């Protein structure tokens, strides 16, 4: 977690942006936002803006990566240099390489990869504006983009974080809460399948705090899941 500070993050039971502990920021999801990609989606969670694109199933290069039993899923998470307060140097760093890995592992459990033998499926996630919870916004977007690409899936994956600020367990940390809070735990969840496909945590949780945070996060993902389905339905209605 970030630096300890004197910033008060909870006043009279309200968070710095006025939310209750178990309240999400406003979430906006749109499917099919890019012309060329096979599937795409745009997600806003408060001040965090993410866009995801899917290419494939398509011929996989380099050829030695080809798996005869299933498709190879590749994910790339990237933060735009202008997405943060101090310009980020473009290109992958250690953080984004790790996030790309856990994002792939969050999506793999719900994709019928065995239906697309010997191919590659590429998922690209760009964070255009960052205000906390970028990896989970990216996963939420990627999941919708995969569905938009018509890739066979067992379920959608919805993601959000829970954490702790001023000794209170909260849902969906904003940037300030992430920086000055006490714990952050991003979760990705496939509600219909009851699968937790991503779990990371850093900070300080007692066992009880963890269980509350997990409950908040699973509730949060279920709300986001409904918005994902709505976004996909809207996309189809428009195409008719």
Q: Is 117 in the site for other proteins (CB under 8 A)?
A: no
CB of residue 135 vs other proteins: minimum separation in angstroms? 13
Tokens of 147: 């569905």
User: Which range in 33-41, 98-106, 145-153, 221-229 contacts other proteins by CB under 8 A?
Assistant: 98-106
Name the residue among 127, 114, 77 with its Cα closest to residue 98: 77
Interface segment toward other proteins; rule CB under 8 A; list 23-31, 168-176, 210-218, 228-236: 210-218
Contact residue for other proteins among 28, 90, 98, 192 (CB under 8 A) = 98
Buried b or exposed e, range 156-178, using 16+ CB within 10 angstroms: bbbbbbbbbbbebbbbbbbbbbb
Name, in order, each residue with C-beta under 8 angstroms of 233's C-beta and a sequence gap of 6 or more.
none
* Angstrom distance (rounded) from CA 174 to CA 20: 13
Q: Is 95 in the site for other proteins (CB under 8 A)?
A: yes
Alpha carbon distance 135, 37 (integer Å)? 21
Residue 206 makes contact with other proteins by CB under 8 A: yes
Considering only residues 7, 10, 16, 201, which one is a binding residue for other proteins as defined by CB under 8 A? 201
126 binds other proteins per the rule CB under 8 A: no
Site residues (vs other proteins, CB under 8 A): 1-3, 94-95, 97-98, 100-102, 104-105, 108-109, 185, 190, 193-207, 210-211, 214, 218
């Amino acid at each position: 977690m970030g630096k300890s500070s004197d910033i008060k993050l909870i006043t009279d039971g309200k968070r710095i942006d006025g939310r209750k502990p178990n309240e999400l920021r406003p979430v906006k999801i749109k499917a099919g936002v890019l012309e060329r990609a096979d599937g795409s989606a745009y997600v806003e969670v408060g001040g965090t803006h993410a866009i995801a694109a899917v290419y494939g199933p398509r011929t996989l290069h380099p050829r030695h990566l080809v798996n005869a039993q299933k498709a190879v899923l590749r994910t790339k998470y990237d933060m735009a240099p202008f997405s943060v307060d101090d310009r980020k140097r473009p290109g992958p760093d250690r953080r984004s390489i790790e996030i790309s890995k856990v994002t792939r592992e969050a999506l793999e459990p719900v994709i019928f990869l065995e239906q697309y033998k010997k191919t590659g499926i590429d998922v690209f996630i760009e964070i255009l504006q960052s205000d906390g919870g970028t990896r989970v916004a990216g996963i939420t977007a990627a999941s919708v983009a995969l569905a938009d690409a018509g890739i066979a899936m067992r379920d959608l994956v919805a993601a959000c974080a829970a954490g702790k600020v001023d000794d209170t367990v909260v849902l969906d940390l904003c940037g300030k809460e992430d920086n000055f809070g006490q714990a952050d735990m991003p979760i990705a969840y496939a509600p219909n399948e009851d699968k937790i496909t991503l779990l990371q945590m850093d900070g300080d949780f007692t066992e009880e705090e963890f269980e509350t945070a997990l409950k908040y996060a699973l509730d949060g993902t279920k709300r986001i899941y409904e918005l994902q389905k709505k976004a996909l339905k809207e996309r189809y209605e428009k195409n008719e």
